[in-house]
Structure 1
C-alpha cells in the first residue's frame, strides 16, 4: 500500500508538470467536462441513474462518467490525475492524502450499514475463529480496514491470520471455490461469496456504525477552479435520489443491471447501505465528537491507519471536508 501511495504521488507530480497541452485541463472558472469515476457499490450506482435519466444535463453540467470494474483502479485514477472526482470511502481518501494527494470530500453518498462483510466458510463461527486461517481481501482498501477493525475487536491482529491479497471480485471467487477460509467483500460481491453453501457473515460494517462513510471526492484544485461544476454534481445527486424515490422499480432495474445482479438481489442490499439525504449530509459535516461526525471519523481513521501500519504518518485533514456545496444545494 505504501509503495502504491508513493507511486501515485509521483505520478501526480508527473501529470502536473509533464503536459502543456491546453486540452488537458480547462482554465479556472471556465466550463469544463467533469470526469467522474465510480465502481460496484450500492451507494454509487445512483450515478448510473443520473446518467441514463439526463439529470447531469438538467443541472447544466457535462459529465464523463467512468465505471471501474476494480475499485482500486478508480482510487489510482483520481490520485494520478486521470479523474476529476471519484466515488470512494473516507478511509481510502485518507490513505491517498497521506501519500501526497490533495483531495476534498464534498458529499456523503451513504454509510455502509452491513454491505461490507467478513464472510467465513462453515465451521468458522466468529472472528476469533479466524486465528491461523487465510482471509482473501483487497489489500489497503475498505474491507481490509473492516477486517482489521474486526480482528482488533476480537483481541487479534493481522499477524494472527494470513492475508491473501486479491481484487474484491477475485477474492469472492476464490472463497466460493474453497481456496481460502474467509473473505472481506462488499456488495454486490458478497452475493458471490455467500454462494458457498453454509457460509455466513461473521462481521459486517453494521458492527461499526459510521466507520465506513462513502463520498464524492474531488481533486482539491478542481474544487477551487470549478465550483459551479462541483455544485451541479451535488445538486444532481439529490435530484437523482428524488427520481429514485418516485420511480423505485425503474431505478432498481437500472442499478441492478449495472451491478450484474438480479433486481431481487439488489433490493436485498437496501438495509446494508444507508443513502444520505441532504439533511443527513448537513449533520455529518457538522463538527462533533461522535461517529456520526465526519471530522471525528477522519481523526479516528487517520490514527487507525497509522496504528495498523497502512501509512507512515497521519494524513493532514485541513481542507479535506467541504460542506459548502451541500449547504447550497436546493
Structure 2
C-alpha cells in the first residue's frame, strides 16, 4: 500500500514538474549563431556568372553548406537578369545581386534584404568599344549592346552622364550580356557593356578595347547576397548559415588556391590563366570590409549612402518611377554575429 502511495505521489510530482516546465516562457535568442536549420526544405538560391559570386560553386563542391548544417539547392543562371526575376517572382529564397538591381526590385514591390557584401567591382564591369572610338563622346549615335536594367546598363549611364551625354544620345540595343558580347565580336554593334567573364569574349574582336570600367566609379557596384524577408522571418538560422558558409569558403580558397581556381574557372567557362586576370577587377569583401560597408558613411563605400545615391540616379534616369523605402534594405545582424563568433 505504501509503495503504491509513494508511486502515486511520484507520478503527481513528475506530472506537475512537466506542466511547470512547459508553461515557462522560452527566452528569445540574442543572435543567429546557431546553424541548425529551422526547416528541412532546401534553400532555393540563385547565382550567375560573376567572379564575386562564383565562390558559391566552391562552397557546393566542397560541401561547405553541409558543414554549416544548411541544405541549399544552388541554381545556376546563364542570364543574370533571369535570376533577378526568379527571386522577385518567389521562385528563389536567395540570390546574388547588385545594389542597383536590388533597389529596382524593391521599387517594383519585392520584399528583399541584403545580408552580405560579396565584393565590389573594381574593373570587371567594362564598356568595350570597337576600333576608332577613343572617347565617351565618340559613343554619340553609336549602337551599344547592353542588358537593360542591369548593373552594366547603370555603368554605361554613369559614364555617359560624366561626359555630358544621356541614353537618348546613343542607340541602346537591348541584349542579354552573353549575347551582347557575341554580337560585338561579330561586328553587329559598336560597343558592349559587359561584365567578366563576358569581357574576355568581347575583347576577342580585333582592335577592340576598354573605354571605361567600374574602376572609374569606385563603390558604385557592390555585389551582395540577397534574401527574401520571409527567409529572415521564418529561417534566420539558415540565413546565418549561408553567411557563415561564405566566409568558410573564403578561408578554404585561401588555403587551397589551385583547387579553388580550377573550380572557379570551370564554372566561368574560361581557362585558369584567364580567370586570374579577373582578380584585380573584383575586391572580395572580408568580414572587416562587410562591417565597414554596413556602417553609416558619407561616400559610396557606405551601403546606406550608396543606396540613396543609386536610388536618386535610377529615378532621374526613369529606370524606376519613385524612390523606394530603403530603411529595411540592409540587415547586418548576420555578419555581426559571424564576427563576434
CA shift for structure 1 position 30: 3.4
In 2, Cα distance between equivalents of 1:176 and 1:54: 38
Of the two, which has the highest radius of gyration? Answer: 2
In 2, Cα distance between equivalents of 1:294 and 1:32: 32
Deviations 1:34-60 (A, max 9, x none): 111000000000000000001000000
In 2, Cα distance between equivalents of 1:89 and 1:183: 19
Contact residue 135 and residue 163 of structure 1 kept, 8 A? yes
Alignment correspondent of 1:9:
none
CA shift for structure 1 position 126: 1.5
Matched ranges for 1:177-326 at <5 A: 177-326=186-335
Q: TM-score, normalised by structure 2?
A: 0.88
In 2, Cα distance between equivalents of 1:224 and 1:200: 47
Gaps of 5+ in 1: 1-27
Deviations 1:267-307 (A, max 9, x none): 00000000000000000000111111000000000000000
In 2, Cα distance between equivalents of 1:32 and 1:322: 23
Gaps of 5+ in 2: 1-36
Q: Secondary structure at the match of 1:287?
A: coil
CA shift for structure 1 position 207: 0.4
Alignment correspondent of 1:161:
170
Deviations 1:140-196 (A, max 9, x none): 100000000000001100010000000000000000000000000000000000001
Alignment correspondent of 1:87:
96
Contact residue 31 and residue 226 of structure 1 kept, 8 A? no
In 2, Cα distance between equivalents of 1:136 and 1:33: 37
Q: TM-score, normalised by structure 1?
A: 0.91
Is 1:34 the counterpart of 2:38 in the alignment? no
Alignment correspondent of 1:51:
60
In 2, Cα distance between equivalents of 1:253 and 1:119: 27
In 2, Cα distance between equivalents of 1:154 and 1:323: 36
Alignment correspondent of 2:183:
174
Q: Secondary structure at the match of 1:253?
A: helix
Alignment correspondent of 2:71:
62
Alignment correspondent of 1:18:
none
CA shift for structure 1 position 247: 0.7
CA shift for structure 1 position 32: 3.5
CA shift for structure 1 position 31: 4.1
Contact residue 38 and residue 238 of structure 2 kept, 8 A? no
Q: Secondary structure at the match of 1:201?
A: strand
In 2, Cα distance between equivalents of 1:280 and 1:29: 29
In 2, Cα distance between equivalents of 1:106 and 1:51: 20
**Which deviates the most, 29-38 or 189-198?**
29-38
